[in-house]
Amino acid sequence: MNNFQFYAPTKVVFGRGTEEQVGALVREFGGTRALVHYGGGSAVKSGLLARVLASLDAAGVSHVELGGVVPNPRLGKVREGIALCRAEGVDFLLAVGGGSVIDSCKAIGYGMKYDGDVWDLYERKATPTASMPMGCVLTLAATGSEMSDSSVITNEDGWKKRGLSSDLSRQRFAVLNPELTFTLPAWQTASGATDILSHTQERYFSNGTDVEPTDSIAEGLMRSVIEMARRAVRDPEDYEARAAILWAGSLSHNDLTGCGRGSGGRAGDWACHQLEHELSGMFDVTHGAGLAALWGAWSRYVVDAAPSRFARFARNVMGVAEADDRKAALAGIAAYEDFLREIGMPVTIGELGVTLSDEQIQTLAWKCSFEGRRTIGSFRVLDRADMEEIYRRAR
Amino acid sequence: MNNFQFYAPTKVVFGRGTEEQVGALVREFGGTRALVHYGGGSAVKSGLLARVLASLDAAGVSHVELGGVVPNPRLGKVREGIALCRAEGVDFLLAVGGGSVIDSCKAIGYGMKYDGDVWDLYERKATPTASMPMGCVLTLAATGSEMSDSSVITNEDGWKKRGLSSDLSRQRFAVLNPELTFTLPAWQTASGATDILSHTQERYFSNGTDVEPTDSIAEGLMRSVIEMARRAVRDPEDYEARAAILWAGSLSHNDLTGCGRGSGGRAGDWACHQLEHELSGMFDVTHGAGLAALWGAWSRYVVDAAPSRFARFARNVMGVAEADDRKAALAGIAAYEDFLREIGMPVTIGELGVTLSDEQIQTLAWKCSFEGRRTIGSFRVLDRADMEEIYRRAR
């Protein structure tokens, strides 16, 4: 077990009807005037936004609203939010939606406390030193942004997608009501579950070492999400399945499944996430579905770096009974792809509805490698040529 | 899954040499003058105390020291600490030791912010409304007090042992260096592991319902601790075993293994802990060893309330292969007792070195039932007569 820090200060308020506590929670964490940030019309149509505003009113928290956040949230909306919050004297940011809305709030928080352009921070031209207090009401189990320290923003100018991680962006509270996820279509449900599984896989496939008890927790979470994703896709109003996926989503990205792996900094591999970020930056595909489309090609490309690790995944998560490590590893990869197909996910980029040209593959790898200046991954380190090959095999 | 809150704001700094960061951590959380609270001579002899003081000095944090905390920490020492801290203008409490020292600090924190006698709070005559900021350097994996909201204090006047739980007592940080636990004798190591396992068992055996993914996490943690306790008892300097037990100790009592169980308030059964608190209050036995001595009798007394729950424990934690639930349950209980014997723990009160008279059993049950005014447990609710019977069967 390597040295690590674990810091998950977000107060989780989980269960039926918990959105009615949001006004009191904003108050508890010092907010008196809140930005209520949301996405499209679903939070309005479902009545959730009205319930949230009523809760804020009841707690004496005044508010301004800003909707229109889109998946793969845009820098333009972030800049609009910063200007609005400054003009309106907002002292608390409240996200009502999924990971995109939370990420947009995180970027607004940084931007409000930074004198220059907020994109500087995502481009690593400056380091954030402060942010705003914020909390969220989650409507989609996927990104884990409600307990993570990270956010991802897309700059429309060049469609660059960049992530930024800092404890400054931790949510003060996260309201998680599984019923709010009942209306998610099967595609969104499955994409979310795939993203959740990927957050654990990115950490789990980080080196060849067993790390107890972190591995036990990771494997338990993966087994739960696989079982419950099957149920939630079949029956969207299966409360227990929705609850398990929602809670697993938070635990899969608050770094609980990373403790003790890797040495220093962010533990994990993250190659699939980085390859996918370029894909959804270029084609605006759903993040989880993009991960599903890449995972098999990535796995088979890297498996020989440590077949025993994939064999452990195969046996402890996918229920593969096979003594030989390499055979078990490959059977586990195939079994996971079968699961993805079962919940309606693509296992190739073609199945995503995207036909990649050779030139586009070169462009994706060029961007993902920061114009050839970085490698990605740690399970197996991947350079630009490797990235091209994985995109090609996933085609 | 029932509604729940999860709040674990403690920053965990884990690994080799991390005690050297303690001065910077106290500073990070606003401390300028610290109480350094510790137990017997081992923190002095090992050089740990000197390293901690040097780290405080280097960070410009002044300090006063108060040692002498004993296992089952005493109210007298708490009162001494409150008086000292008030006289010395202390603004941060730093525990260097095990759960007893942390619990003593928690009580000092409450007492410093309360006008009356601190024991009022433990007797439920008043509710704490504030405490002091505090952190810890842990030297013993057991109580989980470093991430829990609870503390237990013994009043020498009548040897009453009482617990108090409140988010006000959360540690700001916990420094966990597995090497600091190398010198623990096998008895303390095994007692600590038993306590850790009990913190998960008390939650796991709380009702008849499966709660995914909480159950998966709980089972993974229990399997890890059982495996690693065997290793640490055999080889006290097995770093991986010490690290796994230390981290599992925190995760087993920060309520991660309780999420979604029970309805409202503190999820779990806690009967074994409450029966043991009276035992160690009367005889000053090691808490974990007391739990080991009671567990088998408690388990067999309550198993028929939900044999399927014990059967799941037997299959998923103890590796029992048996189709019939009740047979599997009993086999699991026996297998767990075998494990306890293997690491040198008692499985009866007699093996603890205590010979209980009938009169003493009546007194224990009388105290544990708050003079007949409360029941304990939720897996099966136990009244005073049940408590007597369990003490008798454990004799």
Mutate to test the interface with B, among A215, A247, A251 (most CBs of B within 10 A): A247
User: Is some CB atom of chain A closer than 8 A to the CB atom of B319?
Assistant: no
Mutate to test the interface with B, among A147, A216, A221, A239 (most CBs of B within 10 A): A216
**Residue A210 pLDDT:** 72
Nearest CA distance, B270 vs chain A (angstrom): 23
Residue of A nearest to B242 (CA): A1
Pairing of strands A134-138, A173-176: parallel
Give the residue extent of every domain in chain B.
Answer: 11-179, 186-394
Instruction: Assign 3-class secondary structure to B349-366.
Output: CHHHCCCCCHHHHHHHHH
Q: Which residue has the tokens 């990420």?
A: A103
Phi, psi of A60 (to 5 degrees): 75, 25
Q: What architecture is the B186-394 domain classified under in CATH? A: Up-down Bundle (1.20)
Q: Do A216 and B223 touch (CB under 8 A)?
A: yes
Note whether B368 and B387 are within 8 A (CB). yes
| Cis? peptide before A213, omega within 30° of 0 | yes
Q: Look at the pTM and tell me if it is higher than 0.90.
A: yes
B55-111 residue pLDDT tens: 999 999 999 999 999 988 999 999 999 999 999 999 999 999 999 999 999 999 999
What CA–CA distances, in Å, run from A81 to A105, A160, A168, B295? 8, 20, 18, 57
Note whether B150 and B170 are within 8 A (CB). no
Q: Which CATH number fits domain B11-179: 3.40.50.10490, 3.10.580.10, 3.40.50.1970, 3.40.50.10190?
A: 3.40.50.1970
Distance, in Å, from the CA atom of B35 to the CA atom of B52, rounded to the nearest integer, reads 12
Beta-bridge mates of residue A138 = A97, A176
Q: What is the ipTM of this complex?
A: 0.94
Instruction: Examine domains A11-179 and A185-394 and report if their fold is the same.
Output: no
Q: Do A244 and B11 touch (CB under 8 A)?
A: no
**Residue B263 pLDDT:** 58
Q: Do B2 and A15 touch (CB under 8 A)?
A: yes
**A22 contacts on B by Cβ (under 8 Å):** none
Q: Residue B365: CB partners within 8 Å, gap ≥ 6?
A: B384, B385, B387, B388, B391
Residues of chain A where predicted confidence (pLDDT) is lower than 70? 207-208, 263-266
Note whether B250 and B12 are within 8 A (CB). yes
User: Is some CB atom of chain B closer than 8 A to the CB atom of A224?
Assistant: yes
**Residue B208 pLDDT:** 56
What is the share, in percent, of chain B residues with pLDDT greater than 90? 90
Q: Residue A337: CB partners within 8 Å, gap ≥ 6?
A: A295, A296, A347
**A7 contacts on B by Cβ (under 8 Å):** 11-12
> How many CA atoms does the CB half-sphere of B315 hold within 13 Å?
15
**Residue A265 pLDDT:** 45
Distance, in Å, from the CA atom of A235 to the CA atom of A230, rounded to the nearest integer, reads 9
**Residue B265 pLDDT:** 45
The mean of the pLDDT values for chain B is 95
Residues of chain B where predicted confidence (pLDDT) is lower than 50? 264-265
Q: What architecture is the A185-394 domain classified under in CATH? A: Up-down Bundle (1.20)
Mutate to test the interface with A, among B10, B216, B246 (most CBs of A within 10 A): B216
